[in-house]
Every structure is written in structure tokens, then in C-alpha cells.
């Protein structure tokens, strides 16, 4: 098969493995080129069958056009044979599919679109022969409607490929549904509960049937080797340091003290948080997710705002954190492009107003933007030298997005999601970032607060939902 762009060494290996395995997991770290590898695997599969095969690509919405562009870069497939379902709503997407009865098409659509029964039923009737699931950890929940629909389409396909750099984020059960999609249960069976009981145990089993019992599933460490061996019977694992000559990623923590007003708000909110933890302990359990929600309020305060009971934003006038960003932008923006990562909507306004005040040309990348708006913003940031800053939400801009024009990223606010942390780091430390001598990530944090503790936990890749309550105990001896 003739290559339009010569693959990396690991990509050649993956293409060779696809000849032996009709279904393959590309567990390649973010930024290593797994999209390009998959394009050539699809081409090889079509070449072996000597015909065009109906191909469905499922991916996060923000990456849909990136998939189309990668097909144009790595293959000789014509653009008219690639359909990106980008229209708003299922009606718009179905209109794009009017008259698409020929198998000579590659359809690219986001996972959430499958929740439309009309679109899902159309795809079932179309019967994709090749199914690609990008960021496959998005179907890790076996109970989710989205995961079940993906599995239904996968069962129709002859060849399946799952792509993710983080197949297991929280616990070993994350892998079950991804492999159920991959091979219909050939590796781990089709029962989640059987899988769970085999590879995990309930640490609270002795309390089962008693008041306030709740299961505490922990991994069976003695099963790790077996689990790993099964995973790699049809998978390739790739890390950036093993296959790419990337510039060093330098991480810096910049401590920014709160103002007196912020500290007052913080202490008041912290008391409410600690009281909540105490009350839950008296009841015999702590609902970690609700504790995380309360802790996010503390995070909002350290970024310079609070929300009242009606959801109205109250700006905290004296905000050292915003002043720190101003100083960093003054020092960096003339020679470097910069990503400003944040997790709260009001942060967009704060940072956008700051850039306007400083007369810095900037764009946004947020969840409120539609697909075309996101694409235009990313293209402008990457190609227009006058655009120096992109203000991005860690979730909206963190998956499958290429922002290699930036040599610096500044984390203004963070959530407690490890996947978002890892994904956002890989947006400008990936293939293509060799244009820079180094990539620098600056984490702003308020010392002696949950903000700092959570940053440490994320850097240690700890599970935050459970860790949050422990952090509260550590700080106030609850």
C-alpha cells in the first residue's frame, strides 16, 4: 500500500498488527499520532478487501473536522466521500445524509448524536463495516445509553478499532465496556457484573445487609497480570517518550495568595464544606460527588468570584490571581502564544476582559460555542501570528484538540477531573510541538487551600472524588 505520508515506526507496527487482528485497540498516549495510524489501518483494510467499506468514526464533537483533515493528509480518499455530521440537531444531521445510500462513504459523527433514535436507526440500517471509536473511554460506562448504542453498532461491524490514551482512569472496570465494544465480549465476556467480581472485591462485604451499607469496590491486585495479558492480546500501547522527539514539558507551580476579601469568603464557604463532611460522617458515609460540588465553590472563590443562592455572580474586586495572569501575559505574549485554561464560565469573562484591557488579540474555545466557531477559533490561534492567546475550557478544549502554536499554558482554574488534566496537557505537547525549544505549563494555586491540595493530587494521578473528603479532613482535622 502506498503511503501519502510516511508513518512513524510505531504506526507501521500498528498497521501490521491490524492484518492479524480484525479488532484492535490503539492505547496510544495523546499526541502520538493515533489518528494518522488509524487512517492508514482503515486504508489497509479497504485495500485488503479491494473495495471501499462503509466506515463510521465516532469522536468528540470538537475533533470531527480534525478527523476529516487527517484522512485528507494521510490518504487519497476524496473529500466528497467523507461526511462530517456537523449540523445542529438530529434533523440537520439527517438532512446531510439525504441520498447517502452508497457504501463509498466515511461518516464522522459525535457520540452524543447517537442519543437521537432517528439518527441511530439510520446508522443501523446503513450497517457500518468499520467502526472507529476515538477517545473510547467515553463509552466506559456499561449502564449509559450512549455506550449501549455504540455496542449495538459495533456488533454489526466486521472491524472495530478503539483509540484512547487513558483506557483506565478510575478503576479496572473502565476497560470492560471498551473491550465489549471492541470484540463483543470475546476478551472479557458480556457481563459487567461477572467481570467486576472477577477483577475487584467489595471491601465492605462484611457489612452487606446492615444499615448504611455501601459497596467499596477495590481491585484484586493478584489479577493485574492476567488483566494486562488479556488487554494486550489485541492492543498496542504507545507513550510519547518512546516514539516522539518532543521538547521537554516543564511544569511550574505559581503560588498566589488570596486577598483579604477572598480569604473571608473562603473561610465562610469552607465552614459549610466541613460541616457537610461532618454531618455525612455521622450518618455513616460521605457522598464524595456532592463533596466535590461544594469544593468547587471554594475553587471559584480563589479565582475571584462567588455565586449567591440565586446563581448570581458576585465579582471580588481585589483579585491577586488575575493580577498574576496580567504579569505573566506582559512578560510572555510578545514572544509566545499562550493557552489560558479555566473551568468556570465567569473565568472566560475575567480573562477576556483582561486581554481587552491589555489590547491582546485573543480567541475563545468553550462549551457554549458550536463546532464551526470552535474550528475557526483554533485555526486562527494556530495560524494567525497576531492572535496571541486562546482562552479555553479544560473540557471543551481538552480532547483531541491541536494547539501546538502555544509554547506556554497557564491554568487559571481547574476542576477535579484527572482526564481533563491529562488531556489539556497534551494539547500543545504533542507531535508538531517540536517547533518550540520547550513547553511550559504554569499552574496557579492558592497556598494552604483545597486548590493546592487538589493540584498535588492531580499531579500524582490520584482519584479526586474520594480524595476531596480526605483533603478536608487533613486541613481541619475533621
Residues 113, 142: contact at Cβ < 8 Å? no
Compute CA 59 distance to the chain's CA centroid, rounded to the nearest angstrom: 11
C-alpha distance from residue 149 to each of 23, 119, 326 (Å): 18, 11, 47
Q: What is the mean pLDDT of the chain?
A: 88
- Give the DSSP H or E segment for 439: strand 439-445
More confident of the two residues 476 and 368: 368
Q: What share of the chain is helix, strand, coil (3-state, %, to 5)?
A: 50, 15, 35
pLDDT at 475: 45
How confident is the model over 333-371, as pLDDT tens digits?
A: 999 999 999 999 999 999 999 999 999 999 999 988 988
How confident is the model over 98-131, as pLDDT tens digits?
A: 877 667 899 999 999 999 999 999 999 999 999 9
Comparing CA positions, the residue from 467, 469, 472 lying closest to residue 457 is: 467
pLDDT at 267: 87
Q: What mean pLDDT comes out for the span 275-301? A: 61
Counting DSSP H helices and E strands in the chain, the numbers are 18, 17
Could you list the beta-strand ranges (E) of 37-156.
55-59, 82-84, 106-110, 130-134
pLDDT of residue 464 exceeding 80:
no
pLDDT at 10: 94
| Grid coordinates belonging to 200 | 475487584
pLDDT at 421: 85
Q: What mean pLDDT comes out for the span 74-86? A: 94
C-alpha distance from residue 409 to each of 79, 328, 431 (Å): 34, 11, 17
Span of 215-229, 318-332, 415-429 with lowest mean pLDDT: 415-429
- What domains lie within the chain, and their CATH numbers? 9-243 (3.40.50.10810), 249-476 (3.40.50.300)
pLDDT at 382: 94
How confident is the model over 20-36, as pLDDT tens digits?
A: 999 999 999 888 999 99
Q: What mean pLDDT comes out for the span 144-170? A: 93
pLDDT at 286: 41
| Grid coordinates belonging to 323 | 493580577
| Grid coordinates belonging to 443 | 499552574
Span of 235-244, 289-298, 402-411 with lowest mean pLDDT: 289-298
Going by C-beta distance under 8 Å and a sequence separation of 6 or more, which residues neighbour residue 123? 56, 107, 114, 153
pLDDT at 284: 44
Confidence of residue 473 (pLDDT cuts 50, 70, 90): very low
Amino acid at each position: 500500500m502506498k503511503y501519502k505520508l510516511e508513518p512513524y515506526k510505531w504506526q507501521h507496527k500498528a498497521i501490521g498488527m491490524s492484518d492479524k487482528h480484525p479488532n484492535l485497540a490503539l492505547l496510544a498516549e495523546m499526541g502520538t499520532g493515533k489518528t494518522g495510524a488509524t487512517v492508514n489501518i482503515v486504508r489497509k483494510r479497504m485495500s485488503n478487501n479491494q473495495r471501499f467499506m462503509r466506515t463510521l468514526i465516532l469522536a468528540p464533537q470538537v475533533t470531527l473536522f480534525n478527523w476529516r483533515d487527517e484522512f485528507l493528509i494521510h490518504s487519497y480518499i476524496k473529500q466528497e466521500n467523507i461526511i462530517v455530521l456537523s449540523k445542529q440537531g438530529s434533523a440537520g444531521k439527517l438532512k446531510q445524509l439525504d441520498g447517502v445510500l452508497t457504501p463509498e462513504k466515511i461518516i464522522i459523527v459525535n457520540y452524543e448524536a447517537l442519543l437521537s433514535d432517528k439518527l441511530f436507526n439510520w446508522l443501523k440500517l446503513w450497517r457500518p463495516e468499520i467502526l472507529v471509536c476515538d477517545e473510547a473511554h467515553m463509552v466506559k460506562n456499561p449502564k449509559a445509553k450512549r455506550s449501549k448504542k455504540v455496542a449495538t453498532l459495533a456488533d454489526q461491524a466486521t472491524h472495530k478499532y478503539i483509540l484512547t490514551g487513558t483506557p483506565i482512569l478510575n478503576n479496572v472496570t473502565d476497560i470492560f465496556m471498551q473491550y465489549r465494544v471492541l470484540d463483543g465480549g470475546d476478551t472479557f465476556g458480556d457481563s459487567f457484573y461477572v467481570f467486576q467480581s472477577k477483577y475487584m472485591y467489595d471491601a465492605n462485604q462484611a457489612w452487606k445487609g446492615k444499615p448504611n451499607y455501601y459497596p467499596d469496590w477495590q481491585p484484586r491486585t493478584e489479577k493485574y497480570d492476567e488483566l494486562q495479558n488479556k488487554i494486550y492480546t489485541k492492543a498496542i500501547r504507545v507513550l510519547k517518550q518512546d516514539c516522539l522527539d518532543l521538547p521537554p514539558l516543564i511544569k511550574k507551580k505559581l503560588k498566589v495568595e488570596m486577598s483579604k476579601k477572598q480569604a473571608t469568603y473562603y473561610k465562610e464557604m469552607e465552614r459549610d464544606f466541613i460541616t457537610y463532611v461532618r454531618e455525612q460522617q455521622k450518618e455513616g458515609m460521605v457522598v464524595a460527588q456532592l463533596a466535590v460540588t461544594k469544593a468547587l465553590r471554594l475553587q471559584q472563590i480563589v479565582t475571584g468570584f462567588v455565586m449567591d443562592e440565586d446563581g448570581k455572580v458576585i465579582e471580588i474586586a481585589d483579585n491577586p490571581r488575575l493580577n498574576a495572569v496580567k504579569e505573566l501575559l506582559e512578560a510572555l505574549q510578545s514572544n509566545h502564544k499562550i493557552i489560558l485554561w479555566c473551568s468556570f464560565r465567569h473565568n472566560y469573562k475575567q480573562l477576556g476582559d483582561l486581554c481587552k484591557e491589555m489590547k491582546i488579540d485573543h480567541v475563545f474555545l468553550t462549551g457554549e460555542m458550536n463546532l464551526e466557531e470552535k474550528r475557526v477559533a483554533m485555526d486562527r490561534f494556530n495560524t494567525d501570528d497576531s492572535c496571541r492567546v486562546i482562552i479555553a475550557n479544560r473540557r471543551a478544549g481538552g480532547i483531541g484538540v491541536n494547539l501546538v502554536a502555544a509554547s506556554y499554558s497557564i491554568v487559571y482554574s481547574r476542576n477535579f477531573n484527572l482526564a481533563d488534566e491529562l488531556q489539556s496537557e497534551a494539547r500543545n505537547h504533542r507531535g508538531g510541538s517540536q517547533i518550540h525549544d520547550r513547553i511550559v505549563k504554569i499552574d496557579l494555586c492558592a497556598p494552604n487551600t483545597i486548590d493546592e491540595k487538589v493540584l498535588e493530587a492531580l499531579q500524582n494521578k490520584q482519584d479526586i472524588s474520594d480524595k476531596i473528603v480526605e483533603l478536608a479532613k487533613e486541613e481541619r482535622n475533621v
